[in-house]
Structure 1
Amino acid sequence: MNELWPIIKSTNMQRFLIIILLTSFALTGFSQTKIDSKIDSVSSDYELIDYIETSPQFPGGEDSLWCFIENNLDFKILNYSNHQGKVLVFFEIDTTGKVINVQTNPDYTQRLEWLVNDSLIENEIRRVIKLLPDWKPGLQINKPIRVQYILTINIPYTDFKCKTIDNPTTAYWKVDKYAQFLYKGEKETKESIEKFISENGIWPSQDDCTGKVYLRVLINEQGELSDFVILRGLDDCRGFNEEALRLVRLMPNWKPAEIGGKPVKSYTVIPISFVIR
């Protein structure tokens, strides 16, 4: 169930509302007590009010809002890493209904333990929020007001709200059981990848580089890998991206993802670590 928390703030003789929009898929570990605490930490000028005369309205309603967001998000970016947590997205609807001042994870939210700070993920979320079409502006005392939403988005993003998603990548992320890589007796994907790299990896150059290259791949119903894309590489290190790509292309078949007990195509993101031991 979605919850809206209306708040009035006075700044420079202007009053505007902040609505904290907490989606049902993002409520885990975010209790009402923590919401109140967070509001207090933003500004002492905030005070709760009993009602909002007229909230901003997205064309077609809330379901249309989530359909717009989910049809435009690139899930291969949101789900590329092993992050577990949430991204906080702040944006305002001005008095003409336009979306302005989009930001993610501002400084005063950094104390939240579940916060996911990742420039690649945050840039993608901001990109989509900036694409939102004009809203019908909010009203207070029959006058247009500026309204801010604080939206929490779970990472990885797997709980979809839109009832009619057209995004072709969505079907490859929304599965019951994720694809697995089981290599030479290892029982977990992470350990299997590490063993495979240790047996087959070649240090690319004399560069003293360390880090990870993240590749997205498509795994078909037979567990075969294709559609190799580097999501984040070590661009300043000679040959490291190329070596990561070579290793992933060399991998044997994976155990495919499942929906309803049947194998299906799915996307997965494979991290290739370069570590000096």
Structure 2
Amino acid sequence: MAEDKFRRSFKMPFHNTLGLAVYNCGIQRCGPGHAWGPALRDHFLIHCITKGKGTFTFNGQSRQLATGDGFLVVPDRIVTYQANTEDPWEYCWVGFNGSDAKRWILQTGISEEEPVFHFGENHEIPDALQEICNTSASLPGDEARMQARLLLFLAALMDQYGSVASVHTEGYEYVQKAVHFIECNYSRDIGIDMVAASAGISRSHLYRLFMDHISISPNEYLTRHRIQKAVALLETGRFSVGEVAYSTGFSDQLYFSRVFKKYQGVPPSQYLSKERTKKEEQ
């Protein structure tokens, strides 16, 4: 495979339970024929082509793209993109996730069914994207600045292509109520029936709304939120695995260990040991 001629990128921790967060961003000048895929992402990803040509393949169809074009990759859909062999493209990109990410994308007018867009001579869109990439992420406030610039980038897309359709946001207030209940009560022994009751709708209705608006089930959201909180507690190095389990709503420590390993790749005891070693070395 041809080597990239140039690449500058940055990656943040995965924050699926936040409203909206930058996951990665970068600027790349690809080598001839450089390709990614066929594969899928677990987050939204938008590319803006600033020079050259390439091919984007999605939903069984291929599009020849060039300078002034852009494309959206949605989670859990197989795509391929490849630089032209004679005039390989350069692009900038931003990946993002969060419970509000799908709602924002719907408002841009760019969709899974039609993920290609053309910004042409409108430099506001690629410039806004590159502003995200230009944030150094070396200061405490940089994550907030990246999020703010992501919103400005999405706003630029909305200005050119989007229209806010009520059909896309219908029922979102129930999702917000459920998310708020989870974030306030995750440490308790709560189930999805309680979450649905807090929002004033049935369990099955809540499931449909979660899948429509944030593409994961309520139970998956609750589990991810608990594991994210568990990671934060373990990183302090001040609590035992059992204390962390009970503090994040897991009454069974063995079950907690299995779930933690599923999401983090290692058991909590190993994660805790690593964090304590880090602190001893500092």
TM normalised by structure 2 equals 0.23
| Greater RCO, 1 or 2 (C-alpha within 8 Å, sep 6+) | 1
Q: Which has the higher helix share?
A: 2
TM normalised by structure 1 equals 0.24
